[in-house]
Amino acid sequence: MSSTRFGRPYGSVDAIVNQPGILESRPGRNPQNPNAPYGLDYLTIVDQLLVKQKVELTEVLTGFETSNKYTILNASGQKVFYAVEDSDCCTRNCCATSRPFHLRILDNSPREIIHMHRPLACSACCFPCCLQSIEVSAPPGNVIGTIEQEWSICSPSFRILNHIGDTVLRIEGPLCTYSLCGDVEFNVVSLTGEKIGKISKQWSGLAREIFTDADFFGISFPLDLDVRMKAVLLGATFLIDAMFFEKSGNRETDGPGML
């Protein structure tokens, strides 16, 4: 997936909705997929998404950690969703990249269609009993899947669980996740080991990589994948961003050292 820049910087949710290039969609039950959670019907027709994090000037100028905001685009560059982090100032600046948070995914109405929760957990290989995870729900609180970090020393890996707790997919990361030199790919694989997609941290330019933690991610998955698992893979993108590509003290976290 190309790392082409789409759109222009955004501010409030209303500003996003009123920008040119917004995909006008009204979510509703898809008669061909009546089991899809309300609001996720759009995911039935896409096999790629691009996640673009907003550059926060306050962070660049002061180093003070602010809540993250993202635009989610389709392969044509249309803005289809918007994501906002819900966390308090104390945990953002004291817990840094390990902080717990809630993340709300909004459609262009704007209406919350996905809710994600990342609890506080350790990020070191010496604590295999307290690894990272993120829970993905469809309002009003119906869990549709979970991403759980697997204990590993060499390279990061995760398992994708469905709404009843069964492992249905895995994510295998690279040995080194340092992104200053180019794209970093996390492969989405089936339980038999077949690669079916990927989450790619895309190179966003030297100045942006060094001075900000605003990232670009590309996500690809099979078109016929359950929309709930597509939403969970979107959640995995935010967990991977928080674990490996958020900067603490202007330094990016690097791979196995935090596992």
Residue 200 belongs to a domain: yes
CA proximity to 116, closest of 86, 145, 136, 133: 136
Residue 24 belongs to a domain: no
- The answer to whether 204 and 221 have CB atoms below 8 angstroms apart is no
Residue 6 belongs to a domain: no
Residue 13 belongs to a domain: no
Confidence of residue 252 (pLDDT cuts 50, 70, 90): very low
- State the Cα–Cα distance between residues 220 and 124, nearest whole angstrom: 29
Convert the pLDDT of each residue in 54-83 to its tens digit: 866 555 455 556 788 999 999 998 999 999
Residue 86 belongs to a domain: yes
End-to-end CA distance of the chain: 27
Residue 3 has pLDDT above 80, yes or no: no
- Which domain CATH number covers 79? 2.40.160.200
Alpha helices in 13-140 (DSSP H): 13-17, 57-62, 89-94
Strand 48-53 and strand 251-252: the pairing is unpaired
- The answer to whether 258 and 243 have CB atoms below 8 angstroms apart is yes
Q: Buried (b) or exposed (e) across 67-79, using 16+ Cβ within 10 A?
A: ebbbbbbbeeebb
Convert the pLDDT of each residue in 172-228 to its tens digit: 999 887 766 678 999 999 999 999 999 998 765 444 444 444 578 999 999 999 999
Residue 106 confidence (pLDDT): 94
Residues 6+ away with beta carbon under 8 Å from 107: 25, 27, 39, 42, 80, 81, 82, 113
- The answer to whether 86 and 66 have CB atoms below 8 angstroms apart is no
Residue 259 belongs to a domain: no
Q: 83: domain range?
A: 37-249
Phi, psi dihedrals of residue 33, rounded to the nearest 5°: -145, 70
Tokens of 88: 């308090």
- Number of structural domains in the chain: 1
The average pLDDT across 95-115 equals: 87
- State the Cα–Cα distance between residues 12 and 237, nearest whole angstrom: 22
Residue 5 belongs to a domain: no
Residue 113 belongs to a domain: yes
